[in-house]
Amino acid sequence: MTLYRAAVMDTPRDPLVEGPDALRADADAGLLVRDGVVAARGPFAAVAAAHPEEEVVDLRAGVLLPGFVDTHVHYPQVRIIGGLGMPLLDWLTSCALPEEARLADAAHARAVAREFVDGLVRAGTTTALVFGSHFPGATDAVFAAAEAVGLRMTAGLVVGDRFLPEPLLTTPDAALAHGRALLEKWHGRGRLRYAVTPRFSLSTSDAMLEACAELLAAREDVWFTSHLNENPTEIEEVRRLFPGAGHYLDSYHQHGLVTARSVLAHNVHPTAHELEVLAGTGAAVAHCPTSNCSLGSGLFPLAAHLDAGVRVALGSDVGAGSGFCLLKEGLQAYFVQRLLGPHGVDLGPAALLHLATRAGALALGLSDQVGDLAVGKQFDAVWVRPQPGTTLDVVLRHGADAPDALAKIFTLGTPSDIAVVWVAGRTVSGPSAPVPPPLP
Ligand code: GUN
Ligand code: ZN
């Protein structure tokens, strides 16, 4: 057992529903961690008095937060982060898809998988919903890399049977067979789960979506993820390709793919009916603000989602997104809502923390295990501890109160300010993190 002593902030309640007081900020907390689980929590003096024999790890020089939950990120796209200046379909054609085709090479895929998992944990992400590769071997490699490091990951083989470059195309039968093999190997193994992952409606026929539905039905706790309403040209093309669908969401919904185990990325341009269907089914939306800004996709209508009762969490959308760190996504989400003026949502620091942690856990059906640091939860945590003398260090030393400190962490924080990251009580990034095995 280990007793951690720290300033701790988390959001077991939703500040967007209950207001900024939903931030739980304990200036000098004791968290007793046993077998990777928070076994006791309270004022440090009280927890230490009740457990005088435990080793104390003193983290008072920084701030302890729950590990971040990234609900939308692409493993094959690590090396193309920063491809600026294009709208979605041009960026896919000239930047993302050629890079994804390179993962046909197994050694290359293993290297990228390690860079990807390493990038996530260095940024403080402890749980992620991941777009795998179009290649089964490369998708297997990202599961193996996540397992080696200890990341909590839900991922799947990405499938499509049109629009894509020839090497990325597959058939419904092959998608089903390869998906089933990966699901049987990885789903439920440690912290790993499988997600059925058609790339987007534009790259999938009805027959392919039907194969996806068959795989999704294979097990009760398998997840579904794809893209939705990201860009006006894309939406127009989906309308043309699916004349029988009422709208973009319907192209998935007609196949039974929209449920409480579905996470749809972007939804920048939804119709009122799509929001109704998302709310009614309990499906969640992954809001990816840096990607939406980088590709010029649009300003996310968060208020309309919340008013309709749609669940929203954050995604980095690497590689269209500008990096792995959900602190940056939180800040960009805040900026976007500011730009919407009276139509924007006032995203205070507590709301940003909730979006980056517990909202993601809720979207992924993992809120009984992660998302906050309550007793009984897994000790998935990040220790924000900027290097002395950095601007974040300076402003934190002059901060007023906990919400103010949290606002500063979202404004200035980068992966270099995240000193230690734990998943289930084990260090996955930081001084005593295990060194990943070398490439064969
Ligand atoms: N739509 C289909 N594929 C992608 C992708 O890789 N990134 C983004 N942002 N949108 C997509
Ligand atoms: Zn994406």
SS (H, E, C) the chain: CEEEEEEEEECCCCHHHHCHHHCEEEEEEEEEEECCEEEEEEEHHHHHHHCCCCEEEEEEEEEEEECEEEEEEEHHHHHHCCCCCCCHHHHHHHHHHHHHHHHHCHHHHHHHHHHHHHHHHHCCEEEEEEECCCCHHHHHHHHHHHHHHCCEEEEECEECCCCCCHHHCCCHHHHHHHHHHHHHHHCCCCCEEEEEEECCHHHCCHHHHHHHHHHHCCCCCCEEEEEECCCHHHHHHHHHHCCCCCCHHHHHHCCCCCCCCEEEEECCCCCHHHHHHHHHHCCEEEECHHHHHHCCCCCCCHHHHHHHCCEEEECCCCCCCCCCCHHHHHHHHHHHHHHCHHHCCCCCHHHHHHHHCHHHHHHCCCCCCCCCCCCCCECCEEEECCCCCCHHHHHHHCCCCHHHHHHHHHHHCCHHHEEEEEECCEEEECCCCCCCCCCC
CA of 333 to the centre of ligand 1 (A): 19
Q: With beta carbons less than 8 A apart as the criterion, state whether 219 and 203 touch.
A: no
Q: What is the pLDDT of residues 212-229, one digit of tens each?
A: 999 999 898 999 999 999
Q: Do the domains at 2-66+372-429 and 68-363 have one common CATH topology?
A: no
pLDDT at 431: 86
Judge whether residue 439 has pLDDT over 60. no
Judge whether residue 288 has pLDDT over 90. yes
CA of 210 to the centre of ligand 1 (A): 21
Q: How confident is the model at residue 434 (pLDDT cuts 50, 70, 90)?
A: confident
Q: With beta carbons less than 8 A apart as the criterion, state whether 133 and 121 touch.
A: no
Cis bond before residue 319 (omega within 30° of 0): yes
Q: ipTM score of the complex?
A: 0.99
Tell which one of 79, 99, 227 to mutate to probe ligand 1, the residue whose CB is within 8 A of the most ligand atoms.
227
Does ligand 1 have an atom closer than 6 angstroms to the CB of 255? no
Q: Single out the residue of 131, 146, 129 nearest to residue 364, CA to CA.
A: 129
Does ligand 1 have an atom closer than 6 angstroms to the CB of 199? yes
Tokens in use for 225? 């993820």
Nearest 5°: phi and psi at 411?
-75, -40
CA separation (Å) from 267 to 90, 227, 238, 253? 19, 8, 14, 15
Q: What angle, 0 to 180 degrees and rounded to 10, lies between the N-to-C axes of helices 402-412 and 326-339?
A: 100
Share of the chain above pLDDT 90, in %: 96
CATH superfamily, domain at 2-66+372-429: Urease, subunit C, domain 1 (2.30.40.10)
pLDDT at 399: 75
pLDDT at 435: 65
* pTM (global) more than 0.95: yes
Does ligand 1 have an atom closer than 6 angstroms to the CB of 96? yes
Q: What is the pLDDT of residues 39-74, one digit of tens each?
A: 999 999 999 999 999 999 999 999 999 999 999 999
pLDDT at 88: 98
Q: Single out the residue of 98, 5, 102 nearest to residue 51, CA to CA.
A: 5
Judge whether residue 362 has pLDDT over 70. yes
CA of 228 to the centre of ligand 1 (A): 9
Q: Where are the domains of the chain?
A: 2-66+372-429, 68-363
CA of 100 to the centre of ligand 2 (A): 13
pLDDT at 436: 64
For residue 227, the ligand 1 atom closest to its alpha carbon is: 1
CATH top-level class of 68-363: alpha beta
Residue of the CA atom closest to atom 8 of ligand 1: 320
Does ligand 1 have an atom closer than 6 angstroms to the CB of 358? no
Residue of the CA atom closest to atom 5 of ligand 1: 92
The pLDDT of 82-87, averaged and rounded, is 96
CA of 6 to the centre of ligand 2 (A): 35
Judge whether residue 397 has pLDDT over 80. yes
pLDDT at 73: 98
CA of 74 to the centre of ligand 1 (A): 8
Q: What are the residues whose beta carbons fall under 8 Å from the beta carbon of 186, sequence distance 6 or more?
A: 140, 143, 192, 193, 194
pLDDT at 244: 96
Measured in residues, the chain has a length of: 440
The pLDDT of 90-112, averaged and rounded, is 98
pLDDT at 438: 59
Share of the chain above pLDDT 70, in %: 99
CA of 17 to the centre of ligand 1 (A): 31
Q: What is the pLDDT of residues 166-210, one digit of tens each?
A: 999 999 999 999 999 999 999 999 999 999 999 999 999 999 999
The pLDDT of 299-320, averaged and rounded, is 98
Residue of the CA atom closest to atom 7 of ligand 1: 320
The pLDDT of 235-257, averaged and rounded, is 97
CA of 134 to the centre of ligand 1 (A): 13
Does ligand 1 have an atom closer than 6 angstroms to the CB of 100? no
Does ligand 1 have an atom closer than 6 angstroms to the CB of 72? no
CA dihedral sign, ordered 26, 32, 34, 39:
negative
Judge whether residue 440 has pLDDT over 70. no
Q: What is the pLDDT of residues 132-145, one digit of tens each?
A: 999 999 999 999 99
Does ligand 1 have an atom closer than 6 angstroms to the CB of 410? no
Tell which one of 77, 200, 252, 294 to mutate to probe ligand 1, the residue whose CB is within 8 A of the most ligand atoms.
200
Q: How confident is the model at residue 242 (pLDDT cuts 50, 70, 90)?
A: very high
How far is the C-alpha of 136 from the C-alpha of 197, rounded, in Å? 12
Ion ligand 2 residues within 5 Å by Cβ:
265, 317
Tell which one of 88, 159, 318 to mutate to probe ligand 1, the residue whose CB is within 8 A of the most ligand atoms.
88
How far is the C-alpha of 302 from the C-alpha of 338, rounded, in Å? 11
Does ligand 1 have an atom closer than 6 angstroms to the CB of 134? no
For residue 97, the ligand 1 atom closest to its alpha carbon is: 6
Q: What are the residues whose beta carbons fall under 8 Å from the beta carbon of 130, sequence distance 6 or more?
A: 73, 74, 75, 142, 146, 153, 154, 155, 195
pLDDT at 437: 60
The pLDDT of 288-317, averaged and rounded, is 98
Average per-residue pLDDT for the chain: 97
Nearest ligand (C-alpha, residue 316):
2
